[in-house]
Amino acid sequence: MPVAELGEGLLVRLLNAMQSRMNIAIGGALLVADRNGRLSQVAAVGVAEAWNRAQIDAHAGPVVEAASAQKAVIADPFDLRRHPDLARLLDVTAPQVPAAVLAIPNTWTSGTQLITVVYLSDSPTDADLAVVGRYEPLMAYALGLLEYCGEAESQAEHMVRMVQTRQWIEQAKGMIMTRRSVGPDEAFAILVEHSQTSNVKVRELSTALVAQLSGAPATDISDESRAAAEALWRDVDRGAG
């Protein structure tokens, strides 16, 4: 079986597994945005394929916003009145209109992003964010491994970069888990929430938090990321105990 066919099947199974653990999920997808912001779909289940295609064609919607801003977007409610160009593409054969959309980008390879998208029939809860947090790294690793198998040595450096990115996120999650006495899923949900409210990417927020608490030198961290990490930790401290 070709690597591409095998890989798509694996990613679809992971997306289905994620969707099955969220009672309100009606679709899920993985997309890649190149350094120019152009989106391409890697795998999709449920209503995701149709909605992703509509947003890509209209250059509007939560998926496009997440890729452009390079930060998590939670469209709750998902109001088509905010996206008239997108609404005009939909007709009577359009899929079910989701009540909410989660679009969470993360660094993939140099200049590109991997975007996890979930379409929901109701407002997401912390538990829903936790499910996404559990499956997002699995799908990222799976896609990285499949690309490596497909292109061998040319993907080795990309895999290393991806693992390094995940390392910062996992360390930040561990710090939140220890201070707040929560599990990894809730810790990831806290990171995503603060990433959205502070307009700072999850990776940059995690890197700033780890540097701040460990005292490690990190001169490439922006003032915005440092401020966001400080606000995040104050919030974590208030909820500890």
Confidence of residue 45 (pLDDT cuts 50, 70, 90): very high
Is 230 or 94 the better-scoring residue by pLDDT?
Answer: 230
> What global pTM score does this model have?
0.64
Is 16 or 214 the better-scoring residue by pLDDT?
Answer: 16
Share of the chain above pLDDT 90, in %: 24
| For residue 180, pLDDT beyond 70 | yes
CA distance 37 to 207: 23
| For residue 162, pLDDT beyond 70 | no
CA distance 15 to 12: 5
8 A C-beta contact, residue 210 and residue 174: no
Summarize the confidence of residues 91-105 as an average pLDDT.
Answer: 79
- Tell me the two tokens of residue 179: 């201070």
Summarize the confidence of residues 166-184 as an average pLDDT.
Answer: 85
- Tell me the two tokens of residue 40: 């391409």
Residues 102-155 have pLDDT tens digits of: 998 887 666 678 889 999 999 998 888 888 888 888 888 887 777 666 554 444
